[in-house]
């Protein structure tokens, strides 16, 4: 057995396969460990040394055994290391478990100690609290005793003073009054006030003279304190002012010191001087205020300066009020009320009264500008904060400021008075603008009727006389001239009858409605600023009625009625169609008017369904009535034109289409009737295209063409035609068709072709009549309808046309 072992050992030592290199756990825990390098190391150690050097005897065959042996050995070594590692891991886990058990026990011990300490602390805290409550009670009792002692001392001092005052001695209070300490002055004021109350309660039992002495001392004390405050104000000694204000507030509520503080302000002195002077508005500003075509010029410079000064002084003095007075918000409220209710209101009333004497429009523009600047002032003050600066204004002062602003303009805006002013202004302006227009039509009608228009004329004259006698007429002649369109003659005898009128004054002028709508738009914008939101529907309803009354009733209706009357008066001779010139501007004015109503007025009535419904109804009724009058003018003109065309055609001579051979001239183009008719139609075309457009023009010319075609077809039935006359007839018809085609209306062009086709029946050879009847437009006409025309041919019977036509029937 021993021999075998030795032999094995000898074989092992002589093995050609090397042993794998030894490695440990530290080899794997190294930061430089790479698995690839580790495997390559094992692989290189598995190759025998004699094979590594190579051989010259050809390529050796691969022998896997060395690798197998090497990796088996490495695997065994890894298993050993894994066992060692598991053993160490078990030991470590056991150590961790024991450490955790020790830690838990330590925590339990510490928790017991902490709970015990906390209990001790709570017990100690409870003891201290009980002691503190006791100390607090003792302190409260001591404080109460101190107050009682102080009240007793005060009562003693008060009784002593009262007794001394009853003896006529004021030295005790005088001594207290003369000390430099603010606390003593406060005490002196309090005692003086208490003495006054005591005397009032014991007026029947008090010693004679005591009341007078106390009142005299109190008054002297107040005047002395006010003088001290005045001196401190002049020196701007804030601390001294603050002390006096505190004493006087405790003495009598501070009313006297507040009044004294406000009276000394340079602002009220300057404002008083401004308000003492008269309102003087420059001539340029006056004219701009009264000229509705000019932009609103803004506010009176003096009033604007006053508003700016109010803004600056309130911001500046608010800082002083905050530092000096114990209750600054109350002082600021008094300051605001005095500024608005005295200085600003007084100047505003003067400016508005002066503007009202100029014109209603001047008053309204000034009122709007004033309120806009005051509202801007209010917003600026709220944002600044005044005594609350840099924070926003306090709610109480904000409410007071809003109230003062509202009360400032309430006399001019309440009870619908403002809207009455707007109504008066618009009616005044509209009346002036349409004055010459109405005077022209009134003079035109006065020879025919003294009915409604006569009464209208008189009422309008009264209204205009009111305008002319107003301050506007006296001081703003240029603005008045722009509105009315004339200037009054100098002298006392000037009258409306002195005005020279022209035909243009009685015509519709598109610039008038543009100006009227511009003025109305300004009034609408002003009402949105000045009236409450709840009144907006009522305001725009009033303005709609003013617009309808003036632009429709007093302007469009008058012009359209005049056009209708002129049309109806056309009885003899060629009609004068110049009245049609009113239709185009009328349609443009209607478009402007209803666009404004639907865009600017009706939408503002949304909050009141009832008012909106009434406004919509009025708008639709007005539109329908105006469209009906325009249609009446057009239809009446159509009737007049067709009647005159019929009259012209009736003047056709019988021989025009049956000329003798010696009467035929190649140079003759149309018959005299055709010449006069086409001349009238060309004149009509020029007037229609000038006075009408769009659908109105198309409708008008279409109706004329239909009536003219009917008249021509009837005309052709009345005249006998020979061969030469047929040529004249076709020339006439061609000229008629040329005029109609110049209207460039496809439907008219197509409908008029039948006339030209019928005209060809008079010039074709008798043998070609049948073919002509079966060609083109005539193919659609039944033969019996063509018989009245063919029968007018001179060769109707002799050429066999009658027999041919009979065979077609």
pLDDT greater than 50 at residue 370 = yes
Q: Is the same domain home to 588 and 676?
A: no
Q: Take residue 704 and report the two structure tokens written for it.
A: 């004329």
722 and 694 co-located in one domain:
yes
Residue 614 maps to a domain: yes
Read off φ and ψ for residue 721, nearest 5 degrees: -130, 125
pLDDT in tens, 176-186: 767 766 677 67
> Does residue 683 form part of some domain?
yes
Residues 626 and 742 placed together within one structural domain of the fold:
no
Residue 485 three-state SS: coil
Per-residue confidence (pLDDT) for residue 583, from 0 to 100: 93
**Residue 214 shares a structural domain with residue 251:** yes
Kindly give the interhelix angle for 171-178 and 210-235, rounded to the nearest 10 degrees. 10
Listed range (19-33, 101-115, 582-596) with the worst mean pLDDT: 19-33
Residue 344 structural domain = 191-401
**What element of type H or E holds 585?**
helix 583-596
Nearest-10 crossing angle of helices 511-530, 417-433: 170
Q: Is a pLDDT exceeding 60 seen at residue 232?
A: yes
Same domain? 289 vs 200 = yes
- Give me the pLDDT at residue 161, please: 76
Q: What is the largest CA-CA distance in the chain?
A: 176
- Distance between CA atoms of 246 and 331, rounded to whole angstroms? 13
Kindly state whether residue 603 falls inside one of the protein's structural domains.
Answer: yes
**Model confidence at 365: pLDDT above 90:** yes
pLDDT(431) > 80: yes
Output the average pLDDT for the chain: 81
b/e 496-511 (16+ beta carbons within 10 angstroms → b): beebeeeeebbbbbee
Q: Greater confidence, 57 or 369? A: 369
Same domain for 547 and 581, yes or no, is yes
Decide if 3 is inside a domain.
Answer: no
Report the range out of 27-31, 495-499, 767-771 with the highest average pLDDT: 767-771
Rounded to whole angstroms, how far apart are CA atoms 355 and 57? 135
The CA-CA-CA angle for residues 801, 803, 809, to 5°, reads: 100
Burial class (CB in 10 A: 0-12, 13-18, 19+), 479: buried
Residues 676 and 583 in one domain: no
Same domain, 243 and 363: yes
Q: How confident is the model at residue 235 (pLDDT cuts 50, 70, 90)?
A: confident
Evaluate whether residue 186 is within a structural domain.
Answer: no
Q: Does the pLDDT at position 437 exceed 60?
A: yes
Q: 447-475: per-residue pLDDT in tens?
A: 555 444 455 555 555 545 555 555 445 44
Q: Per-residue pLDDT for 207 more than 70?
A: no
Among 132, 167, 202, where does a domain finish? Answer: 167
Q: What is the CATH number of the domain that holds 739?
A: 1.20.58.1970
pLDDT digits (tens, 9 = 90+) for 494-519: 455 556 778 888 899 999 999 999 99
Residues above pLDDT 70, as percent of the chain? 83
Look at the chain and report how many structural domains it folds into: 4
Strand partners, 700: none
pLDDT for 546 equals 96
For the record, the structure tokens of 422 come out as 């707007």
Is the domain of 98 the same as that of 234? no
Within a domain: residue 470? yes
**607 closest CA partner among 691, 696, 686, 532:** 532
Classify burial at 650, counting beta carbons within 10 Å of its beta carbon; exposed 0-12, middle 13-18, buried 19 or more: exposed
Residue 535 backbone phi and psi in degrees, to 5: -90, -5
Last residue within a domain, chosen from 604, 635, 666: 635
Predicted confidence (pLDDT) per residue in 602-637, tens digit: 999 999 999 999 999 999 999 999 999 999 999 999
Q: How far is CA 777 from CA 80, 705, 757, in A?
A: 123, 18, 7
Among residues 610, 635, 660, the one where a domain terminates is 635
Task: Check if the beta carbon of residue 652 is closer than 8 Å to that of residue 676.
Answer: no
Tell me the pLDDT band of 480, cut-offs 50, 70 and 90: low
Asked whether residue 182 is assigned to any structural domain, the reply reads no
Q: Are residues 200 and 294 in the same domain?
A: yes
Same domain, 209 and 234: yes
Asked if residue 7 has pLDDT above 50, the reply is no
Residues 469 and 586 in one domain: yes
Closest CA to 673 of 717, 759, 733, 726: 733
In a domain, 327, yes or no: yes
């Amino acid at each position: 057995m021993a021999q075998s072992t030795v032999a094995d050992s000898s074989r092992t030592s002589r093995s050609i396969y090397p042993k794998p290199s030894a490695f440990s756990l530290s080899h794997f825990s190294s930061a430089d460990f790479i698995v690839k390098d580790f495997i390559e190391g094992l692989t290189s150690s598995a190759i025998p040394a004699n094979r590594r050097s190579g051989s010259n005897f050809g390529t050796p065959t691969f022998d896997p055994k060395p690798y197998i042996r090497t990796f088996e050995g490495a695997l065994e070594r890894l298993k050993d290391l894994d066992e060692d590692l598991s053993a160490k891991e078990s030991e470590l886990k056991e150590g961790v478990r024991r450490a955790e058990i020790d830690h838990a026990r330590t925590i339990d011990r510490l928790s017991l100690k902490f709970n015990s300490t906390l209990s001790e602390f709570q017990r100690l805290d409870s003891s201290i609290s009980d002691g503190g409550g006791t100390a607090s009670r003792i302190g409260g009792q001591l404080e109460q005793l101190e107050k009682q002692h102080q009240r007793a001392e005060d009562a003693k001092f008060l009784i002593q003073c009262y007794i001394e005052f009853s003896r006529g001695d004021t030295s005790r209070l005088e001594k207290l009054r003369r000390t430099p300490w603010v606390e003593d002055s406060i005490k002196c004021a309090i005692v003086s006030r208490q003495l006054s109350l005591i005397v009032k309660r014991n007026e029947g039992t008090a010693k004679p003279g005591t009341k007078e002495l106390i009142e005299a001392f109190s008054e002297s004390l107040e005047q002395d304190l006010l003088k001290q405050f005045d001196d401190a104000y002049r020196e701007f000694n804030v601390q001294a002012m603050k002390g006096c204000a505190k004493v006087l507030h405790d003495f009598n509520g501070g009313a006297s010191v507040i009044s004294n503080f406000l009276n000394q302000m340079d602002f009220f002195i300057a404002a008083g001087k401004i308000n003492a002077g008269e309102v003087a508005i420059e001539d340029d500003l006056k004219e701009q205020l009264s000229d509705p075509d000019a932009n609103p010029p803004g506010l009176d410079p003096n009033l604007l300066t006053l508003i700016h000064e109010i803004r600056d002084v309130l911001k500046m003095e608010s800082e002083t009020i905050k530092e000096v007075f114990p209750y600054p918000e109350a002082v600021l409220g008094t300051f605001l009320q005095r500024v608005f209710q005295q200085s600003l209101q007084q100047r505003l009333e003067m400016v508005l009264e002066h503007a009202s004497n100029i014109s209603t429009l001047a008053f309204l523009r000034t009122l709007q500008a004033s309120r806009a600047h005051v509202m801007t002032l209010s917003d600026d003050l709220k944002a600044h904060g005044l005594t609350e600066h840099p924070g926003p204004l306090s709610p109480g002062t904000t409410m007071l400021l809003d109230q003062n602003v509202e009360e400032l303009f309430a006399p001019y805006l309440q009870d619908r008075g403002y809207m009455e002013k707007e109504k008066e202004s618009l009616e005044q302006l509209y009346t002036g603008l349409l004055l010459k227009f109405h005077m022209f039509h009134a003079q035109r009608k006065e020879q025919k009727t003294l009915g409604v228009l006569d009464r209208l004329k008189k009422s309008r004259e009264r209204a205009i006389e009111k305008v002319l006698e107003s301050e506007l007429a006296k001081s703003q002649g240029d603005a008045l001239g722009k509105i009315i369109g004339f200037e009054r003659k100098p002298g006392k005898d000037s009258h409306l009858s002195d005005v020279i009128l022209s035909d243009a004054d009685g015509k519709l002028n598109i610039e008038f409605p543009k100006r009227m709508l511009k003025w109305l738009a300004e009034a609408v914008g002003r009402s949105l600023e000045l009236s409450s939101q709840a009144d907006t529907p009522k305001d725009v309803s009033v303005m709609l009625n003013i617009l309808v009354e003036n632009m429709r009733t007093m302007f469009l209706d008058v012009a359209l009625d005049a056009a209708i009357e002129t049309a109806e008066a056309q009885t003899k001779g060629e009609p004068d169609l110049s009245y049609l010139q009113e239709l185009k501007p009328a349609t443009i004015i209607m478009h402007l008017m209803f666009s404004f109503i639907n865009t600017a007025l009706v939408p503002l009535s949304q909050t009141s369904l009832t008012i909106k419904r009434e406004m919509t109804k009025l708008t639709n009724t007005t539109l329908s009535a105006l469209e009906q009058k325009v249609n009446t003018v057009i239809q009446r003109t159509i009737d007049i034109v067709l009647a005159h065309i019929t009259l012209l055609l009736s003047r056709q001579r019988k021989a025009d289409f049956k000329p003798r051979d010696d009467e035929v001239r190649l140079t003759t183009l149309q018959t005299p009737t055709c010449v006069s008719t086409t001349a009238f139609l060309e004149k009509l075309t020029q007037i229609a295209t000038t006075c009408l457009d769009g659908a109105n023009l198309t409708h008008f010319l279409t109706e004329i063409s239909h009536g003219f075609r009917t008249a021509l077809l009837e005309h052709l039935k009345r005249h006998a035609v020979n061969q030469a006359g047929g040529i004249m007839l076709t020339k006439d018809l061609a000229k008629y068709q040329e005029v109609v085609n110049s209207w460039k209306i496809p439907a008219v062009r197509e409908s008029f072709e039948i006339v030209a086709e019928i005209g060809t029946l008079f010039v074709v050879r008798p043998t070609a009549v049948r073919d002509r009847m079966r060609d083109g437009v005539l193919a659609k006409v039944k033969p019996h309808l063509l018989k009245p025309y063919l029968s007018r041919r001179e060769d109707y019977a002799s050429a066999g046309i009658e027999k041919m036509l009979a065979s077609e029937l």
